[in-house]
Amino acid sequence: MKVVKIVHNPTAGKRNLPMELLIQIVQKAGFECRYSSTKENDWKHIEDDVDYILIAGGDGSVRKIAHILIENKKTHIPIFLYPSGTANNIGLTMGLERSITSFTNLIQSHLTQSFDVGKFTMDEKDHYFLESLGWGVFPKLIQKMDDHKKDLKKPLYDELPLALEKLYKIVKKYNPKYAVIETDQHRLAGFFLMIEIMNTKSIGPRLTLAPLASTRDGYLDLVLIPAHQRIHLLKYLEKRMKGEKAYFKLHPLRVKYVNIEWYGKRLHADDAVMTCAKEKISVKAAEEQLRFIAPKKFG
């Protein structure tokens, strides 16, 4: 009997599945089940006899497991994902629905798909990302949201409206930074509000910056928002805050690699903010790939 290790974040989002139901679904599909909660200490250990990992949580839970698999050279283990977080950008990119029926059907299938991992070198060290690597307004947003959560001292279940509001205020006042960008096909320079190297279609509060991005083609999508597009970005965010349909016209560049010199202090890799010196940072799709059990339509 094949073994499924459940990694469950019981406080992720509003529509999480209870532990008992997760175990029931896994056992009914014919697997041996091992349950672990991210609120306990044992969830980070992936035993050698584990055949599948089931993540019931948000993008943060997926990222944590991905780093563990990469560090321990276990990226061959396929992942089931029940996207129960707030944004679920990874699940949305893979076309995963947040419903028990869809999830039950998925866990009974064995359609394994590859999932690219972004890799960048800074300070002579390699780092990885699943969603995006970026400069400009987004690292500032992550810091603001982290500070807000610390002040609350309790889980923030519906953070999307708050994140959009904070991002709007940041974009309004942000001082654009100069950057030099070199890809396999382009060389660009200028002042930017935001640079994002996307692996998924959306980031943060479901900002769909690269709607055609694929996580299994070996490419990354370079999104550039120069200083003169501030008003367009603000109008897009205004509509999002009102709950209206919004479309921000962008033309991402599909790239194999990117070298960036950013004349600012910070970058973000997924939800982690890092200090960056004025050095050239090299970015590409890593040789390491994750494996997900995903629908056929997954791009």
pLDDT of 156 strictly over 60: no
127 and 42 belong to one structural domain: no
pLDDT at 153: 62
Q: Which among 79, 83, 76 has a CA at the least distance from the CA of 9?
A: 83
Domain annotation covers residue 297: no
In a 13 Å sphere around the CA of 264, the CA atoms on its Cβ side amount to 27
Quote the domain boundaries for residue 149.
119-286
Task: Provide the pLDDT confidence category of residue 103 given band limits of 50, 70 and 90.
Answer: confident
273 CB-contact burial (10 Å; exposed 0-12 / middle 13-18 / buried 19+): middle
Q: Which of 110, 128, 161 is where one domain is finished?
A: 110
pLDDT band, very low/low/confident/very high, at 143 (cuts 50, 70, 90): very high
Q: What is the CATH number of the domain that holds 261?
A: 2.60.200.40
Residue 299 lies in a domain: no
In a domain, 92, yes or no: yes
Number of domains making up the chain: 2
Q: Give the model confidence (pLDDT) of 162-191 as tens digits.
A: 999 999 999 999 999 999 999 999 999 999
Q: Mutual orientation of helices 230-241 and 160-173 as an angle, nearest 10°?
A: 160
pTM: 0.91
* CATH code of the domain covering residue 105: 3.40.50.10330
Whether residues 193 and 219 fall in one domain: yes
Q: Do 277 and 176 share a structural domain?
A: yes
Last residue of a domain, one of 110, 136, 153: 110
How many degrees, rounded to 5, is the angle at CA 252 between CA 271 and CA 212? Answer: 85
Of 110, 134, 154, which marks where a domain is finished? 110
Q: Is residue 264 part of a domain?
A: yes
pLDDT at 15: 65
Specify whether the backbone of 256 is left (phi greater than 0), alpha (psi in -120 to 50) or beta.
alpha
Q: What would the pLDDT profile of 191-226 be if each residue is shown by its tens digit?
A: 999 999 999 999 999 999 999 999 989 999 999 999
Is residue 208 a part of any domain in this protein? yes
Average of per-residue pLDDT values in the chain: 90
